[in-house]
Structure 1
Amino acid sequence: MAEKFIKHTGLVVPLDAANVDTDAIIPKQFLQKVTRTGFGAHLFNDWRFLDEKGQQPNPDFVLN
């Protein structure tokens, strides 16, 4: 059985968007693996970066 959630110690940020499409959360090009771990680096990839290669961060995105 999973351990109970007691306290969150990470950051909390506002995401000013309604009805976020699941393809925006984790874009489809990163869903090509069988495991359910390791997706964090691709979270909101298309919103976080200005270029397709993910090299230039978007300074206006709250998670950057």
Structure 2
Amino acid sequence: IFRDRRWTKTGICADCKSYKYCQGNGMHLRNDKNGELLFCHLKRIEEGERIINEKYESVEMV
């Protein structure tokens, strides 16, 4: 079950162009009942970069 990663290519991972890098994350990052991903590392990184860039831009304008 762990080597066959097809079960991870569902939900937001189903059509993700970066899937090959994380392969849907690990079992511990999925909902026990429905198997859905609890959070996406890539989305967290992108959100963090967006927040940092917004703060940097607001400081730069002052």
Same fold (TM over 0.5): no
Based on CA coordinates, which of the two structures has the bigger radius of gyration?
A: 2
TM-score, L = length of structure 2: 0.27
Q: Which one has a larger percent helix, Structure 1 or Structure 2? A: 2
Greater RCO (CA < 8 Å, at least 6 residues apart): 1
TM-score, L = length of structure 1: 0.27
